[in-house]
Amino acid sequence: MPPQAVAAHERTGTAAAPAAMLDTYREVLTPEGVALHLPAAGPVPRALAWLIDLFVRVAVLLALSMLLGLLGGLGQGLYLVGLFLVFWAYPIVLEAAWNGQTPGKRALGLRVVAGDGAPVGWLPAVVRNLMRSVDMLPFGYATGLASCLYDRHGRRLGDLVADTVVVHVAPRRIDPVLPPATPQAPAQVLLPDEQAAIVAFGERAPRLSAGRQAELAALLFPLTGSAGSEGVRRLYGLANWLLGRR
């Protein structure tokens, strides 16, 4: 900070404004005061997800045409109904009922959520997908692409109207990494929440100071019968046992 700015800051007692971050993270503050960081998806992964969904829909329509073609005129009428449902109900139903994901979004690790990070509901899902007819104008999703590039969170017009955002889904850790310790069965039956708390301790404790680890381990002294570093080690053993490493 230049000396003149430092002097002005000291005189006014105000803090300098932080520089804007060049990323697409959308920060949402919950009523509990917890800041959620939603990693908004850009137009490239969204376009790839759309292509996968298009392939799925075309495959479904081909299968329908072969089956309903055997029914003559009735089959043609049913095919038109299926055509409407596949192209318009497909994304609405899946996004609202399948945790904000279509097969394409699931394959690309994407999810539609509400603007505040909550699961997307039926009404936002209907609105954002009906607005595709506008995002497609004048050709090839040009309006939607322009909106994605202009908006810092990569939202097309449908997302802006429905107050939704497409975010990257963090990969779920299947095999948690815990410090090595001899697996040890608990001396008493533990409730699911208690088991989850011990496993969470095993995952997070290595990032804490030794003093904080011992402080947390002391809370479970009635279970481990030890305190300090020995209590921490026994909790690691319990966590490994609960994960099936015996």
Lowest-confidence segment of 11-20, 213-222, 227-236 by average pLDDT: 11-20
SS3 content of the chain, % helix, strand, coil (to 5): 60, 10, 35
Quick one: CA dihedral 229, 233, 238, 242, positive or negative?
A: positive
Average pLDDT over every residue of 5-32: 51
Residue 31 pLDDT level (bands cut at 50, 70, 90): low
Residue 238 pLDDT level (bands cut at 50, 70, 90): confident
Distance of alpha carbon 83 from alpha carbon 73, whole angstroms: 15
- Taking phi first (over 0 means left), then psi (-120 to 50 degrees means alpha), and beta for anything else, what does residue 129 get? alpha
Q: Residue 30: pLDDT above 80?
A: no
Question: What per-residue confidence (pLDDT) applies to 9?
Answer: 44
Distance of alpha carbon 3 from alpha carbon 20, whole angstroms: 22
Residue 49 pLDDT level (bands cut at 50, 70, 90): very high
**Average confidence score pLDDT of the chain:** 81
In angstroms, what CA-CA distances link 181 with 21, 166, 168?
41, 41, 34
Average pLDDT over every residue of 84-109: 91
Report the amino acid identity of residue 84.
F
Question: What per-residue confidence (pLDDT) applies to 159?
Answer: 93
Q: pLDDT tens, 167-189?
A: 998 766 666 677 777 888 888 87
Average pLDDT over every residue of 56-85: 88
Q: Residue 6: pLDDT above 70?
A: no
Residue 23 pLDDT level (bands cut at 50, 70, 90): low
Main-chain dihedrals φ then ψ at residue 37, nearest 5 degrees:
-110, 110
